[in-house]
Amino acid sequence: MKRVPLVDGHNDTPWQYRKRVNSDLGRIDLHSNTARLWPPMHTDIPRLQQGQLGAQFWSVYLPTDLPNTVAAFHNQVRLTQRMIERYPEFELATTADDIVRIHSEGKIASMMGVEGGHAIGGSLAELRWLYNQGVRYMTLTHSRSNDLADSSGGPVWHGGLSAKGREVVAEMNRLGMLVDISHTSDATARQVLKLSTKPVVFTHSNARGLTEEDRNVPDDILLQLKANDGVIMLSFVPSFVHEGSGPATLKDVADHFDYVKKLIGARHIGVGADFDGIDKGPGGLEDVSRYPFLFAELMSRGWTEDELEMVAGGNLLRVMRAQ
């Protein structure tokens, strides 16, 4: 993680600012130990540095049922920009080269990803506004279907992508914005992977072949992702990595890395923990300081240094450069 920046695809700290303190950045100091808050947060700068994180996609998320959704997302984008600007340890990145440079300077490259196509209100102009503000991925749905596509959380409205959703995928390809299909229905994911002319990402999902969960990805779609040359950034969400009795652990997460590697290869794997979007991480992966323990576990299982560098950030950088 020194030669290649460790890139995480999904962290919900900006949502914590909105939810906990009404977007008042002065009331939560990321230089302090935010684990002491109640409920504890997973993210602060000392722990990010301890975890050797090189780059973070900060999630620009809002619920699907807010009034004036587009205006609310404008405010959430600006909140995320202000959070990045507030800390000298962070710097906004919009390209793979930015990430490499910022990491080489000892800072944490900070990108923005919008979680949910409801953010654009059906408008390609709003999509372009997001891109111009520095947003570099958009998740087509959150936990409920929208005017673009069906969600894994339902209901089935379009049988996958709508006509507007197809327009949006094409425009994202044209702009160079990553299409994120975490949270989408299986039909949506299959259609996006056929339609997209650029590599696609799952920013925070896992393997359904190992853990039966609607938010996880079945084997046939993982094989489509390989053909698309995309990346699945595997999450640490306990219910996505473990079923049955007892709590989820680091070893459960590592099992998903092993499973996906065996099916489609290390070239198509990244990390998308979902810290501060989950209540609690698995045992051994409780917060952002713990990434090195995952890589140590994978190394103990026979992963090579080259494979670990691809997973840490090399694959995501490749996909960004292919947009």
Q: 182: Cβ–Cβ under 8 A, 6 or more apart, which residues?
A: 10, 139, 202, 203, 204, 205, 215, 272
Nearest in space to 151 (alpha carbons), one of 78, 101, 205 = 205
Which residues are known catalytic residues? 10, 12, 115, 142, 183, 204, 274
Please give the Cα distance from 137 to 321 (Å, whole number). Answer: 13
SS3 assignment, position 180: strand
* Distance between CA atoms of residues 137 and 179, nearest Å: 6
Q: What are the residues whose beta carbons fall under 8 Å from the beta carbon of 35, sequence distance 6 or more?
A: 41, 42, 44, 47, 287
Alpha-carbon span 273 to 203, nearest angstrom: 9
